[in-house]
Structure 1
Amino acid sequence: MTATEEAIRTVTVAAQAAADKFGTSVVAFDVSEQLTITDIFLIATGKNERQVSAIVDGVEEALHKVGRKAARREGDRENRWVLLDYVDFVVHVQHTEERSLYNLERLWKDCPQIPLDIVQHEPEADDDAS
């Protein structure tokens, strides 16, 4: 079994929302062959807790506009690794340090990566200073 076209389309909306908030290293894996609880893992990185929170808010807002609401949200108290569970896909927004430490790409390297047709934004010089 593979991820549904609808799940892939919706994950692409979430991925673009993450990129719009300057999330980096945005990748998606089709985990449907390995897990029965979800089809796709979307992973994005924020450079600090505030940015992680902004990415999460951006993803939730974008998905709300297409009629999706997270069934579960975890980790938003610390904003180091926030998980948004949409049942058919799960969004992981991780702080740079958590992304490096837990290395989800390594754990799911045997799963096919889903190509994401998104525009990655480069932060302006002033954004790096804050």
Structure 2
Amino acid sequence: MSLTPEKLVDLVVEAAEDKKAMNLIALNLQGVSLITDYFVICHGNSETQVQAIATEIRKKAEQNGGRVRGLEGMDTARWILVDLGDVIVHVFHREDREYYNIERLWSDAKVVERV
């Protein structure tokens, strides 16, 4: 069974929810960007929670056949980027998410509705 980008988004969202990620949003970037197919954006309220969310996402992805191509920001835990190829995850500290507001930069992307 192949891990499609859509299944990977579901796994990432589930992993983030398991660690109580806040204001979780998935954006479909197909046709909008050549970087990746999806962004998943969320935040935690402390550095410890931000690290826990990113760690859980990495673990769940790898357990299900996903490959982590890059992981940036774990040391400061203010903005962690998890590059899963077709899905890029941004896990912010609440304050940094409010400051950078990257959802606004990708306002052309469609929000993924989960069933």
TMscore range, shorter length: over 0.9
Q: Which has more radius of gyration?
A: 1
2:62 corresponds in structure 1 to: 64
Distance in 1, matches of 2:57 and 2:113, equals: 18
CA positional deviation for 1:37: 2.1
Unaligned runs of 5+ in 1: 118-130
Identity of aligned residues (%): 34
**The structure with more strand, counted as a fraction of residues:** 2
Q: Which residue of 2 aligns with 1:86?
A: 84
- What's the CA shift for 1:31? 1.2
1:53 and 1:116 map into 2 onto residues whose CA distance is 24
**Correspondent of 1:16 among 11, 14, 17:** 14
Local SS of the residue matching 1:11: helix
Q: Secondary structure at the match of 1:36?
A: coil
Show structure 2 runs of 5+ residues with no match: none
Within a 5 Å distance, the mapping from 1:15-34 to structure 2 comes to: 15-34=13-32
**Alignment partner of 1:54 is 2:52:** yes
Q: Segments of 4+ in structure 1 off by > 2 A?
A: none
CA distance in 1, matches of 2:46, 2:85: 27
* TM norm structure 1: 0.82
What do you get for the CA RMSD once the two structures are aligned?
1.3
Aligned length: 113
TM-score, length basis structure 2 = 0.93
